Amino acid sequence: MNSSPLRVLIIEDDFRITRMHGKYIEMNKDFVLTGIAQNYAEAFDLINGQAPDLLLLDIYLPDRSGIELLRTLRSLGVPSDTILITASNESDIVEEGLRLGVFGYLIKPFDLDHLQNTLAKYAQFKRRLTSSAELNQDLLNDLMKLRAPKESSSHQFNKGIDEKTLKLIQSCIQHATDLVTTEEITRMAGVSLSTVRNYLKYLLRENMIDEFLQYGTIGRPQKLYCMKKQ
């Protein structure tokens, strides 16, 4: 890696988080903060104008989701690496992020040490990747260890899935008159919210349902579900 610091763009609508991230990046000689975007549109414009090396990308943005932005960037061939900021119960999003090539994750709530460790791994990854004239298997193995490991396998994801409960959740979604929320499915099925979330993750992974995000004026978007059309 050359002596120039790595350019970082923060994409986050919470000013408290951007302030914390920004202060740390400004104190780190390996990085330089090139800008802050608070929504999808701002982020897209800044990425095109600045070509940052690294994005600190929150999943939830006021206008569209961070995953949508990442999909768009990959389809356009934008090479910026990404550290995804997400919530701990969103294994479906984590899995899609891995498919889209994210470098790592910050799981909310997280502390400065976690941010520092993830950025240090990224700086080491870039330094080793760009300073080696030739790549060999040992170096590639070391580089892959620095990237985010895959956190779920099919076996782990299917753990705890009961056939009767699965059919109950499917029936609630199928017989709803409109798109349904997690809370509505919970009331219809008479099971816990955590159980419904677990089964929704399974159904999404198996491509049996569709998930949509409904954006309001404030707060996080609401997730809505329906069965896949045959």
Residues 135 and 182 in one domain: no
Query: What does the pLDDT read at residue 133?
Result: 61
CA angle 230, 153, 81 (to 5 degrees): 95
Closest CA to 26 of 119, 128, 127: 119
**Residue 194: is it exposed, middle or buried by C-beta count within 10 angstroms (0-12/13-18/19+)?**
exposed
Q: Which helix H or strand E contains 8, and what residues bound it?
A: strand 6-11
Residue 177 one-letter amino acid? T
Please indicate, yes or no, if residue 32 is contained in any of the structural domains. Answer: yes
Q: Which two tokens stand for residue 150?
A: 């895959």
d(CA 188, CA 209): 17
Asked if 57 and 108 touch (Cβ cutoff 8 Å), the reply is no
Query: What does the pLDDT read at residue 71?
Result: 92
Which is it for the CA torsion 166, 197, 213, 92, positive or negative? negative
Please indicate, yes or no, if residue 123 is contained in any of the structural domains. Answer: yes
Residue 227 one-letter amino acid? M
Residues 139 and 26 in one domain: yes
Query: What does the pLDDT read at residue 4?
Result: 87
0.75 exceeded by the pTM?
A: no
Residue in the block written with tokens 């620095």: 146
> Which of 105, 123, 147 represents a domain boundary (last residue)?
147
Give the domain CATH number at 18.
3.40.50.2300
Residues 84 and 189 in one domain: no
Please indicate, yes or no, if residue 196 is contained in any of the structural domains. Answer: yes
Residues 84 and 111 in one domain: yes
Closest CA to 28 of 121, 142, 129, 101: 121
Domain containing 32: what range? 6-147
Residues 36 and 139 in one domain: yes
Q: Which two tokens stand for residue 167?
A: 């059919």
pLDDT tens for the chain, residues 1 to 230: 456 899 999 999 888 888 888 888 988 899 999 999 999 999 999 999 999 999 999 988 888 889 999 999 999 999 999 999 886 556 777 788 888 889 988 877 777 778 888 898 899 888 877 776 666 677 666 666 666 544 443 444 455 688 888 989 999 999 888 999 999 999 998 888 888 998 998 898 888 898 888 876 666 778 899 998 76
Residues 76 and 184 in one domain: no
Please indicate, yes or no, if residue 50 is contained in any of the structural domains. Answer: yes
Q: Which two tokens stand for residue 185?
A: 């499915």
Closest CA to 59 of 223, 228, 182, 186: 223
Residues 204 and 142 in one domain: no
DSSP class of residue 192? -
Count: domains in the chain: 2
Residues 118 and 181 in one domain: no
Query: What does the pLDDT read at residue 146?
Result: 65
Closest CA to 12 of 77, 64, 57: 57
The CB-side HSE value for 45 (13 A sphere, CA atoms) comes to: 7
